[in-house]
Structure 1
Amino acid sequence: MTRDSQRSRVYDAEHQVRTMFDRADERGLRTVEILGSTVTLPIERRFASLDSVQSYVDGVLTLSRVRAEWPRAAVPVRVRARSGAGAAHYEVDTATIAVPLHVRGRAWALREMVVLHEIAHHLEPGDPDDHCEPAHGGAFVDRYLTLVSEIIGAEAGFVLRAAMHSCGARVG
């Protein structure tokens, strides 16, 4: 297994962007300034149940752009609840996304950024048992940025890319 040297950088960047989206939702102000650009944050979908997450994952994996780019999109993904307060994760051997439902009264993981992160893991090319790339390496970051840009919106992709850069995560 390849060392996952930039995992914390990717998580830090994702946390920054989720916080931006949370504040935009709380305050009703969607405009932010980042790297000298004024950006209007799009709406990030939130999910009410595992069934809604499963429907979303199924929908993303059937998008023609996703199917054309990543052959593993044809492999179905199962969504299940994850117990405890840990992060969501992807289980390669069973093609399963495990999502914590509520942590300290909040459903923080039932959101689009988190689910797209896990889908990006699923879409790793090649044999999933080979693990030829680090779990959060440059190729993963590139897939994740592409999914966020294409599905949430170019503005969200730009903000996530800027956060990845500021946290030192390598892309590509």
Structure 2
Amino acid sequence: MTRVRDRQRSLVYDAEELVRTMFDRADQRGMRTVEMLGSTLTLPIERRFGSIDSVQAYADAVLGLRWIRARWPRASDPVRVRARKGAAAAHYERDGGVIAVPGYSGGTAWAMRELVVLHELAHHLDPAPDAGEAHGPGFTAIVLELVAEIIGHEAGFVLRAMYAENGVRVG
């Protein structure tokens, strides 16, 4: 069986890392106002999670939203959140609908945050990855919609700008 190359994967990860860094710096400095592309924005608060159970509750709540269920049929398929052993990445397992998130390690929990969980939920909602590409244009469109509608339109604007800056195609 031949695997399809996920051409946008590193571009998507790089763009999303920049967005997470912006949110981290806003939290550290207590200053949520940023200037971007000639616009002054106030970054919304991004939810952080203290446990795998709280990530599960959040994922269930997002998938239970009426507009999510109306927009993506796969929202009615349950997702199970589990702890991931490695601390380097979160991931989604399409078979079984499992989101694996690294928990707290060494006093940090980089993945126990809303931006990461919405990324993984977008994998779950994606009806058919573009030509087998897990991070293709259809997927990035779902991530953008989730971020804009759930975290806030300013967060969606920042993510869209970082995607464009990094050459990420959006469907």
For the aligned pair, the TM-score class normalised by the smaller chain equals over 0.9
Corresponding residue SS for 2:27? helix
| Matched-pair contact (CA < 8 Å) for 1:17–1:163 | yes
| Matching residue of 1:41 | 43
1:71 to 46, 69, 73: 73
Structure 2 residue runs without a partner (length 5+): none
| Matching residue of 1:159 | 158
> Given residue 165 of structure 1, which amino acid in structure 2 is its aligned partner?
A
The CA deviation at 1:100 is 0.4
CA distance in 1 between partners of 2:169 and 2:50 (Å): 33
CA distance in 2 between partners of 1:72 and 1:53 (Å): 19
Deviations 1:124-156 (A, max 9, x none): 115x8xx74410010000000000001000000
CA distance in 2 between partners of 1:77 and 1:23 (Å): 31
Deviations 1:81-129 (A, max 9, x none): 0002221000011100000012443100000000000000000115x8x
The CA deviation at 1:3 is 1.8
| Matching residue of 2:30 | 28
Structure 1 residue runs without a partner (length 5+): none
| Matching residue of 2:135 | 136
Q: RMSD of aligned C-alpha atoms? A: 1.3
1:109 to 111, 118, 123: 111
> Given residue 159 of structure 2, which amino acid in structure 1 is its aligned partner?
L
CA distance in 2 between partners of 1:43 and 1:133 (Å): 34
| Matching residue of 2:147 | 148
Question: TM-score scaled by structure 2?
Answer: 0.95
Question: TM-score scaled by structure 1?
Answer: 0.95
Deviations 1:52-101 (A, max 9, x none): 00000000001011101100000000000000222100001110000001
Corresponding residue SS for 1:86? coil
Q: Which runs of 4+ in 1 moved over 6 A?
A: none
Is 1:98 aligned to 2:106, yes or no?
no
The CA deviation at 1:34 is 0.8
CA distance in 1 between partners of 2:90 and 2:5 (Å): 20
> Given residue 144 of structure 1, which amino acid in structure 2 is its aligned partner?
V
